[in-house]
């Protein structure tokens, strides 16, 4: 399988920032106390629809999404008609969704819920287990949902969960989860996902540490288990620095830290720019603090960029490894055609300099950046 997307919501506080990383957003985002490593997303009306996870490649049938979820306040009523969900889609629309639906079963503190798999207006199955996200210690539950998006009787789905008392526990269902139709658009496969915390109760819900896999490749196979995501911020200028500071930027760190915490507004114009094909600028990163003696399933670089005038330009994500024999290498190429800021993401399951598994030592001193490719 291939890691297509990760998100821990670090450093982003409004949909103006998220809209660059996702095809569309609506609602509001706020930070949340008691989060996991990263900053959780907390709202009762946020919808994030991902960009094309496959960069234009053919739809894939098998998908996995993992996420940490928490209901952070009581009053989540089973009378709610709108539920948080995680959906896989193709270009025509939604194929299948996993809903988090309030349950009539009661736990101390409230916020109890079940999982429900829905195709269009048809509920395929509901979890036998009931989960409590708002108990005395505010515990998170980490879910993983795997689906084969197929028509007729070729589809299937499964899920497992992790909390303080359970690890790698499979969800059981009240109806069949194999040999079912999981493709609402009448065609196999999906290429994007939609994430929604919308609910029609006055309840705050929280989400963190998302990963999404498709069924192609062999680096990350099947469900990954609980995933933690740590943001590494730009900390200074790297070994190659050929782009020019503009818009009042006093350093590459100032130009490239696209965060509402750092910037005065989400559209702060501090930037670095170039019109010379082949120019490369690299930035140093803070070293990982939490994720040291663990398996690293992948990294994601996000470039926030725009055209300064009409026309198009190609940019390429660049990495420079400073442990062992330094080498800088380009990966994903993106064509820019808008004067509005957009986000180009590059997800790497292995170190692009060596094709070996990521180690914390590789991230210590790693430089990332961009080349003006054409």
Question: Any idea which residue has 């818009």 for tokens?
Answer: 247
Question: What is d(CA 141, CA 366) in angstroms, rounded to the nearest whole number?
Answer: 32
The predicted pLDDT at position 104 comes to 67
The pLDDT of residue 299 is above 90: yes
Q: Out of 21-25, 144-148, 263-267, 347-351, which region has the weakest mean confidence (pLDDT)?
A: 263-267
Question: What is d(CA 296, CA 358) in angstroms, rounded to the nearest whole number?
Answer: 6
Q: Do 267 and 357 lie in a common domain?
A: yes
The predicted pLDDT at position 11 comes to 58
Q: Do 102 and 204 lie in a common domain?
A: yes
Question: What is d(CA 99, CA 160) in angstroms, rounded to the nearest whole number?
Answer: 14
Question: pLDDT tens, 264-293?
Answer: 555 668 899 999 999 999 999 999 988 888
Residue 228 belongs to a domain:
no
For residues 71 and 135, the answer to whether their CB atoms sit within 8 Å is no
Residue 222 belongs to a domain:
no
- The DSSP H or E segment spanning 17 is helix 15-21
Residue 225 belongs to a domain:
no
Q: Do 290 and 163 lie in a common domain?
A: no
Question: What is d(CA 356, CA 197) in angstroms, rounded to the nearest whole number?
Answer: 37
Question: What is d(CA 92, CA 41) in angstroms, rounded to the nearest whole number?
Answer: 28
Question: What is d(CA 346, CA 64) in angstroms, rounded to the nearest whole number?
Answer: 19
The CATH number covering residue 296 comes to 2.60.120
Residue 69, judged by CB atoms within 10 A of its CB (0-12, 13-18, 19+), counts as buried
Q: Do 50 and 197 lie in a common domain?
A: yes
- At which of 184, 214, 244 does a domain end? 214
The pLDDT of residue 140 is above 60: yes
Per-residue DSSP letter, 76: -
Say what the alpha-carbon torsion angle 338, 340, 341, 345 is, to the nearest 10 degrees.
Answer: -40
Q: Do 35 and 164 lie in a common domain?
A: yes
- At which of 214, 242, 276 does a domain end? 214
- Give the number of domains in the chain: 2
Question: What is d(CA 148, CA 64) in angstroms, rounded to the nearest whole number?
Answer: 9
Residue 287 belongs to a domain:
yes
Q: Do 59 and 153 lie in a common domain?
A: yes
Residue 75 belongs to a domain:
yes
With H, G, I as helix, E, B as strand and everything else as coil, classify residue 263: coil
Residue 173 belongs to a domain:
yes
The pLDDT of residue 185 is above 70: yes
- The DSSP H or E segment spanning 4 is strand 2-7
Residue 246 makes CB contacts below 8 A (sequence gap 6+) with 255, 269, 270, 271, 272, 273
Q: Do 150 and 187 lie in a common domain?
A: yes
Cα 261–267–270 angle (5° rounding)?
A: 85
Question: What is d(CA 160, CA 168) in angstroms, rounded to the nearest whole number?
Answer: 6
The predicted pLDDT at position 179 comes to 98
Question: What is d(CA 78, CA 223) in angstroms, rounded to the nearest whole number?
Answer: 30
Q: Where does the pLDDT of residue 312 fall: very low under 50, low under 70, confident under 90, or very high at 90 and above?
A: very high
Residue 278, judged by CB atoms within 10 A of its CB (0-12, 13-18, 19+), counts as exposed
Q: Do 200 and 238 lie in a common domain?
A: no
% of residues, the chain, pLDDT over 70 = 84
Q: Where does the pLDDT of residue 362 fall: very low under 50, low under 70, confident under 90, or very high at 90 and above?
A: confident
Residue 244 belongs to a domain:
yes
For residues 159 and 144, the answer to whether their CB atoms sit within 8 Å is yes
Task: Please choose, from the candidates 217, 272, 177, 194, the residue with its C-alpha nearest in 3D space to the C-alpha of residue 3.
Answer: 217
Q: Do 31 and 149 lie in a common domain?
A: yes
Q: Do 103 and 252 lie in a common domain?
A: no
The predicted pLDDT at position 31 comes to 57
Q: Out of 74-78, 130-134, 190-194, 288-292, which region has the weakest mean confidence (pLDDT)?
A: 74-78
Residue 229 belongs to a domain:
no
Task: Please choose, from the candidates 308, 216, 304, 196, the residue with its C-alpha nearest in 3D space to the C-alpha of residue 257.
Answer: 304
Length of the chain: 374
- At which of 179, 214, 249 does a domain end? 214
Q: Do 179 and 256 lie in a common domain?
A: no
Question: What is d(CA 61, CA 58) in angstroms, rounded to the nearest whole number?
Answer: 10
Q: Do 207 and 257 lie in a common domain?
A: no
For residues 149 and 175, the answer to whether their CB atoms sit within 8 Å is no
Question: What is d(CA 353, CA 373) in angstroms, rounded to the nearest whole number?
Answer: 19
DSSP string, 326-361: -EEEEEEEEEE--SS-EEEEEEESB-TTTSSBP-HH
Residue 29 makes CB contacts below 8 A (sequence gap 6+) with 9, 12, 13, 14, 15, 18, 41, 42, 43, 46
For residues 119 and 130, the answer to whether their CB atoms sit within 8 Å is no
Residue 134, domain extent? 2-214
């Amino acid at each position: 399988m291939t890691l297509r997307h990760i998100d821990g919501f670090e450093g982003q506080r409004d949909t103006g920032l998220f809209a660059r990383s996702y095809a569309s957003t609506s609602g509001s985002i706020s930070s949340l106390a008691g989060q996991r490593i990263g900053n959780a997303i907390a709202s009762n009306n946020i919808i994030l629809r991902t960009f094309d996870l496959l960069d234009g490649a053919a739809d894939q049938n098998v998908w996995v999404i993992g996420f940490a979820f928490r209901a952070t306040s009581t009053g989540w009523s089973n009378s709610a008609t709108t539920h948080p969900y995680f959906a896989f889609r193709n270009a025509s629309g939604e194929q299948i969704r996993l809903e988090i639906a309030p349950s009539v079963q009661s736990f101390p503190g409230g916020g109890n819920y079940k999982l429900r798999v829905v195709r269009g207006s048809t509920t395929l199955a509901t979890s036998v287990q009931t989960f409590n996200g708002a108990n005395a210690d505010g515990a998170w539950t980490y879910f993983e949902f795997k689906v084969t998006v197929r028509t007729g009787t070729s589809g299937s789905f499964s899920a497992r969960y992790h909390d303080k008392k359970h690890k790698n526990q499979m969800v059981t269902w009240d109806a069949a989860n194999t040999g079912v139709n999981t493709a609402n658009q009448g065609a196999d496969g999906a290429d994007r996902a939609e994430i929604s915390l919308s609910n029609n109760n006055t309840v705050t819900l929280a989400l963190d540490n998302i990963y999404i896999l498709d069924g192609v490749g062999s680096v990350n196979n099947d469900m990954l288990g609980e995933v933690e995501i740590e943001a590494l911020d730009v900390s200074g200028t790297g070994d190659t620095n050929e782009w020019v500071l503009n818009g009042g930027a006093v350093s590459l760190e100032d130009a490239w830290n696209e965060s509402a915490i750092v910037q005065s507004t989400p559209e702060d114009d501090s930037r670095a720019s170039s019109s010379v094909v082949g120019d490369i600028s690299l930035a140093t990163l803070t070293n990982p603090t939490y994720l040291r003696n663990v398996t690293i399933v992948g990294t994601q670089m996000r470039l926030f960029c725009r055209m300064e005038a009409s026309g198009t330009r190609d940019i390429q994500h660049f990495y420079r490894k400073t442990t062992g024999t330094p080498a800088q290498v380009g990966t994903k190429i993106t064509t820019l055609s808008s004067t509005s800021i957009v986000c180009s993401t590059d997800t790497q399951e292995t170190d692009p300099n060596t094709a070996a598994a990521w180690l914390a030592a590789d991230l210590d001193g790693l430089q990332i950046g961009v080349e003006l490719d054409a």
